[in-house]
């Protein structure tokens, strides 16, 4: 244990240092003074977890808001792709996917997990590697892997496709590429985003460079950030500094992982295997050049071509649910009438409560404090002298 514990402890204590956090918060307050209302969006479920789990929103001045955008792969996977996978599973083809994807419901409110109870063939895997291993050791069965996720998970799929898949394994790609989505969100007028915290893991693959055209177009601050609380506080500090100086930049807070070029080997694999085409993000929009679809030369590996599947169109969300607005970051979970009433982590209805990185699930599990909650005890240091809110 000693060997494994020490380096981790060193990292944790550095990026979770309370004294440093206090200093950063004080600087953020200084910078935010006299600024108008600032809305910062992040597009990664893990950032939402960090912000929520560490209670960062309670530390920020009233005029600084951090919104969660479409950063949960399960949430943005089109209902039509889930429908198609359910149909395949019920037709006797073994559908393999990640655990939380298997719980996401399609347009008829049926998930892969639900259809397994009706005899659908569904298997849960931790990675595409597991899918390859399972298909190889069962050569007489047909398998389809429903690949959801961003450029974080897609390179593994690309790598195995280039290496040659087992003949009985096809890929149903619902993979999405993040940079065009950030570009889309930056131009969305209903969101009024002032700056972005860009995803640390996805950008480690794509590199900062991939965001350059979108930054040039919108001219809004973009800071690439890591996932410890100090990372997020530094990113907010950097953004406010840019806004104060009125010189928007692309800046890298996550220097221990993100580079300008990114992971060239992974990018090459993605370029070789996928065409980057218009793609629907559930609840958001059709975003140009964001869907990673298999190139024609890999037709034999492409479940859509092999089984003649329709490409996703249309959408469906449960009645009264405001999933789409939550995924896009227009509203916060408590603004949805189903949140923590009919829709809870143990009885999820909409995809943001299903996905491990879904905004609703993270908020529910940490019961985030909203609006004016300020504890007036000496312990909480930042005292607005305002009222307490009742439990969500």
| Of residues 192, 183, 195, the one with CA closest to residue 223 | 195
Assess 392 for contact with another protein (CB under 8 A).
yes
Site string for another protein, 326-355 (x = CB under 8 A): -------------------xx---------
Q: From its phi and psi, is residue 37 left (phi > 0), alpha (psi between -120 and 50) or beta? A: beta
User: Which residue among 150, 237, 339, 373 contacts another protein (CB under 8 A)?
Assistant: 373
User: Which residue among 119, 164, 313, 391 contacts another protein (CB under 8 A)?
Assistant: 391
| Of residues 245, 164, 233, the one with CA closest to residue 197 | 233
Residue with tokens 């950097």: 238
User: Which residue among 137, 246, 319, 377 contacts another protein (CB under 8 A)?
Assistant: 377
Phi, psi of 343 (to 5 degrees): -105, 110
Say how many residues touch another protein, by CB under 8 A: 45
The pair of structure tokens assigned to 162 is 């280039």
Tell me 286's DSSP state. E
Residues numbered 212-251 forming contacts with another protein, rule: CB under 8 A: 229-230, 233
Q: Judged by CB, which is closer to another protein: 163, or 390? A: 390
Assess 52 for contact with another protein (CB under 8 A).
yes
User: Which residue among 10, 18, 300, 384 contacts another protein (CB under 8 A)?
Assistant: 18
Assess 375 for contact with another protein (CB under 8 A).
yes
Least distance in Å: CB of 51 to another protein?
A: 9
Helical axes 154-163 vs 264-273, angle rounded to 10°: 70
Neighbours of 62 (CB within 10 A): 11
Residue with tokens 């997020």: 232
Phi, psi of 66 (to 5 degrees): -115, 120
Distances (CA, A) of 64 to 34, 93, 102, 118, 154: 11, 49, 36, 48, 34
Assess 1 for contact with another protein (CB under 8 A).
yes
Assess 53 for contact with another protein (CB under 8 A).
yes
For the chain, how many residues are written? 392
Spatial distance between the Cα atoms of 75 and 361, rounded to a whole number of angstroms: 11
User: Which residue among 268, 381, 384, 386 contacts another protein (CB under 8 A)?
Assistant: 381
Assess 160 for contact with another protein (CB under 8 A).
no
Least distance in Å: CB of 131 to another protein?
A: 22
User: Which residue among 27, 55, 130, 136 contacts another protein (CB under 8 A)?
Assistant: 55
Applying CB under 8 A, the residues found at the interface with another protein are 1-2, 4-5, 8-9, 12, 16-18, 21-22, 25, 52-59, 229-230, 233, 345-346, 364-369, 373, 375-377, 379-382, 388-392
């Amino acid at each position: 244990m000693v060997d494994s514990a020490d380096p981790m402890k060193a990292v944790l204590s550095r990026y979770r240092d309370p004294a440093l956090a206090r200093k950063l918060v004080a600087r953020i307050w200084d910078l935010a003074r006299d600024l108008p209302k600032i809305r910062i969006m992040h597009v990664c479920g893990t950032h939402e977890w960090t912000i929520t789990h560490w209670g960062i929103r309670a530390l920020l001045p009233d005029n600084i808001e951090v919104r969660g955008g479409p950063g949960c792969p399960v949430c943005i996977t089109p209902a039509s792709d889930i429908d198609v996978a359910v149909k395949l599973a019920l037709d006797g083809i073994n559908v393999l996917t990640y655990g939380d994807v298997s719980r996401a419901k399609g347009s008829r409110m049926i998930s892969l997990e639900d259809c397994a109870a009706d005899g659908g063939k569904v298997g849960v895997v931790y990675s595409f590697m597991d899918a390859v291993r399972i298909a190889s050791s069962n050569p007489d069965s047909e398998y389809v892997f429903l690949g959801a996720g961003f450029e974080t998970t897609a390179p593994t799929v690309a790598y195995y496709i280039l290496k040659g898949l087992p003949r009985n394994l096809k890929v149903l790609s619902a993979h999405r590429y993040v940079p065009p989505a950030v570009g889309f969100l930056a131009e969305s007028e209903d969101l009024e985003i002032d700056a972005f915290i860009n995803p640390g893991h996805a950008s480690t693959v794509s590199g900062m460079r991939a965001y350059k055209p979108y930054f040039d177009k919108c001219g809004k601050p973009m800071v690439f950030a890591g996932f410890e609380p100090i990372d997020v506080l530094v990113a907010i500090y950097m953004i406010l500094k840019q806004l104060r100086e009125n010189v928007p930049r692309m800046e890298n807070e996550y220097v221990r992982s993100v580079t300008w070029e990114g992971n060239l080997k992974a990018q090459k694999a993605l370029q070789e295997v996928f065409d980057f085409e218009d793609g629907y993000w559930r609840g958001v929009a059709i975003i140009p050049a964001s869907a990673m679809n298999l190139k024609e030369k890999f037709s034999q590996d492409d479940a859509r071509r092999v089984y003649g599947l329709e490409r996703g169109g249309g959408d469906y969300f449960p009645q009264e649910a405001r999933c789409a607005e939550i995924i896009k970051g227009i509203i916060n979970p408590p603004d949805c009438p189903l949140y923590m009433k009919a829709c809870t982590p143990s009885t999820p209805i909409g995809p943001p409560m299903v996905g491990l990185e879904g905004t609703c699930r993270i908020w529910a599990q940490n019961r985030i404090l909203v609006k004016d909650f300020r504890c007036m005890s000496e312990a909480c240091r930042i005292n607005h002298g305002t009222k307490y809110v009742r439990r969500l």
